[in-house]
Structure 1
Amino acid sequence: MLIDLSSGQTLFARDPERRFMPASTTKIMTAYTAFELIAHGKLSLDTVIEISPKIADEWSGEGSSMFLKAHDKVTVAQLLMGITTVSGNDASVALAVHCAGSLDRWTEMMNENAAFLGMKDSHFGSPNGYPDEGRTFTSARDLAILATALVKRHPDLYRRFIGNHGMVYNGIAQNNHDPITGVVKGADGIKTGYTRQAGYNFVGSAVRSGRRLIMVLAGAPTSSERDRAAIKLMNWGFDDFQNRLIAPARSEIGFARVQDGAEDTVALGARDDILATVPIGGSISPKLTIHYRGPIQAPIAKGQEVARLRIEIAGQAPHDVPLVAENAVAKANIFQRLMNGMRGIFS
């Protein structure tokens, strides 16, 4: 799957809702869950964690590893770097147990976040994607949703922890296996994954001239095939497509009817520029329709999301852009409700 985050369009998809085992791309949700805790003041990057003998014995050197030792004292920031850069299975478990007290509670938090984001085809049974008899699964669409949230909700943490080329811990230097960062112009992550059952997976992102693309590849039979496909798909998305402006941010797109309001309608606009992604040199003639569940009940706050603009372009899947109220609409007073009722009778 390849999506243009700037426009919201899907440029390529094959079986986007097919469920598969994510392997270490599971750690994207572990990082996201930690980022959410940090953003809400419930976790500090500077907090020092002592690695328990149990975690060190069970997980250090087990698959991809940060090679944590019993009684090592590491910060949350170091563990996050170990998770996102060298895919540490041990770092994922250590962070999960510290934050939630148990792996079961941590995976509950992961699944709560997945439900909140609308990841309908995902379930997480571990913080690291280690084989668990199929309890952990996801889809390309869901991983694209997760990657989008990672970028949009936590841009500073994304820049700090995603897309690093490698790290050194306890004198052991390891490289990131990300196939596009440093190879594809503008690439900055996100995460590879591999088990024998899952095959070779990758969730990646790159940004050029304000356009950010997100890709998901799953089930490749070899790492070299995954890496070639990732590079070709990302470059194709940038080289063969461009964004065209449909309407600037905060411009008036249309109106929605209001119920029990001081006004009968509310103006609708978009928070950001409304873009369409089209093949380079291609023409653009999108069909635009406004959708909302209405009339919209007053009161309505300025900037409140109340509708969606559906954009349909020939040859591409339709996609929706949220629309917000361009002005506040107060609840009608007694006189206004009386007048609204009279208009309803005679209209």
Structure 2
Amino acid sequence: MRFIGACLAAVFAAIAPASLAQTQASQVDEAAPAPPTAEQAPIALLVDATSGQVLHERNADRRFVPASITKTMTAYVAFELLEEGALDPRQTFAVRPETFREWSGKGSTMFLPADARPTVAELLMAIMNISANDGSIVLAEGAAGSVPQWTGMMNAKARELGMTNSHFHSPNGWMDEGKTFVSARDLARLARALILRHPQRYRTFIGNEGFSYNGIAQPNHDPLIGRVEGADGIKTGFTNEAGNGFLGSVERNGRRLIMVIAAADSARVRNNAARDYIEWGFGNFSHRTLFARGSTVGTARVQNGEARHVDLIPLAPISVSVPRGSDPEVSLRIRYEGPLKAPIAEGDRVAMLELEVEGMPTSQIPLVAAEEVAEAGILDRFWNGIAGWFS
């Protein structure tokens, strides 16, 4: 692989000279399964979560009705609130009488009794593993005061994540005449944020084989968990309005792929397509780590700071996927609006690493400040100004 890019010398040490030979030696003898056909999945997307690279796509920006995949955004909002301390997993919420009347036994449910007081942890387990419609409403009302207030938070988070082709009208994705819609690319963006920002909560609340509440045990209908190596979620969806969809993720040996399949005619078609899709992704692309988590990728200039530069690091290991048996040109570029203005907090997202593999779409990976840079005092500004004349 041939690399292009300034301030990225460390990447060469991370790439073994024998990478091409290792790639060729690791090719499988048997042909890997193929991506789903347009008949199987009119909408399909496969993304390398570690690099953000698109490995395959079909109608990735077309809006569609997500059905219960909507609950992924409900989980993300809850995870954000837990992170902020605005929600506690041990906190309990009562079931409002009107909520019980409307949602008791409606679609997928955790069978909440009228007098139930489930914890936030129980609600999240039920929402993400047995697709509890009733649990979604109870969480939304308990945490935000009302469903409209909760969906307002969902849409605010969608905007933060750059989900430009998505809108949420309900916490659970129940049929609402198309008022709730997403795109495959937006869902992949949501899944990456869910996993990268909240890895421990993701492992705890998502990808379980089932969940039992009030003496009623129900299985998770995820088509990959327990059947595909490394599968750990995320969410299926089905209504007559939406067809059969799936947002899924699989991790193997430090590499994670995220897939979206939508508008499949049946659960059987969706499930088979999902298994083939993920195996195709792992079987037809090789993977090479470029930067370890926390390693310095480059630097950015800082204006009016105690330091004139700040190191840039990734939130997770940065890797690249290339088609097996190929030797494409790979370019890496750091982009930011600069110079950055102090003060800068440690962990602030301040730059993007653009990763481009010849013949594949460009992907972007966020970089954060490795350390705090305080605002310079008058004397520091004076010396920084003098130093700037000679830089």
TM-score, length basis structure 2: 0.79
In the alignment, which residue of structure 2 is the partner of 1:83? 127
Contiguous gaps of at least 5 residues in structure 2: 1-44
Task: Give the root-mean-square deviation of aligned CA atoms.
Answer: 2.7
Contact 1:309 1:321 in 2 (8 A): yes
Q: Distance in 1 between matches of 2:273 and 2:174?
A: 24
Counterpart check, 1:198 vs 2:248:
no
User: Relative to structure 1, is the Cα distance of residues 219 and 330 closer, same or farther in structure 2, using a 3 angstrom cutoff?
Assistant: same
User: Relative to structure 1, is the Cα distance of residues 246 and 284 closer, same or farther in structure 2, using a 3 angstrom cutoff?
Assistant: farther
Q: Which moved more, 1:213-222 or 1:245-254?
A: 245-254
Counterpart check, 1:319 vs 2:376:
no
Contiguous gaps of at least 5 residues in structure 1: none
Q: Residue type of the partner of 2:117?
A: K
In the alignment, which residue of structure 2 is the partner of 1:244? 288
Contact 1:48 1:75 in 2 (8 A): yes
Q: Residue type of the partner of 2:166?
A: S
> What are the superposed Cα offsets for residues 27-54 of structure 1, whole Å, 9 maximum, x if unpaired?
1111222222222222222233332332
Q: Distance in 2 between matches of 1:169 and 1:250?
A: 40
Shift of 1:346: 10
Counterpart check, 1:310 vs 2:354:
yes
In the alignment, which residue of structure 1 is the partner of 2:75? 31
Counterpart check, 1:283 vs 2:340:
no
Q: Which moved more, 1:318-327 or 1:225-234?
A: 318-327
Aligned pairs for 1:1-347 within 5 A: 1-248=45-292, 253-260=297-304, 268-270=312-314, 272-298=316-342, 304-324=348-368
Q: Distance in 2 between matches of 1:330 and 1:58?
A: 54
SS in 1 for 2:58: coil
> What are the superposed Cα offsets for residues 214-261 of structure 1, whole Å, 9 maximum, x if unpaired?
111111111111111111111111222222133455655555455456
User: Relative to structure 1, is the Cα distance of residues 132 and 157 closer, same or farther in structure 2, using a 3 angstrom cutoff?
Assistant: same
Contact 1:288 1:312 in 2 (8 A): yes
> What are the superposed Cα offsets for residues 189-237 of structure 1, whole Å, 9 maximum, x if unpaired?
1111111111101111111111111111111111111111111111111
Q: Which moved more, 1:46-55 or 1:334-343?
A: 334-343
Q: Distance in 1 between matches of 2:322 and 2:341?
A: 37
User: Relative to structure 1, is the Cα distance of residues 71 and 302 closer, same or farther in structure 2, using a 3 angstrom cutoff?
Assistant: closer
Report how many residues are paired.
347
TM-score, length basis structure 1: 0.89
Contact 1:53 1:69 in 2 (8 A): no
User: Relative to structure 1, is the Cα distance of residues 27 and 332 closer, same or farther in structure 2, using a 3 angstrom cutoff?
Assistant: closer
User: Relative to structure 1, is the Cα distance of residues 282 and 164 closer, same or farther in structure 2, using a 3 angstrom cutoff?
Assistant: same
Q: Residue type of the partner of 1:318?
A: T
Q: Distance in 1 between matches of 2:75 and 2:115?
A: 23
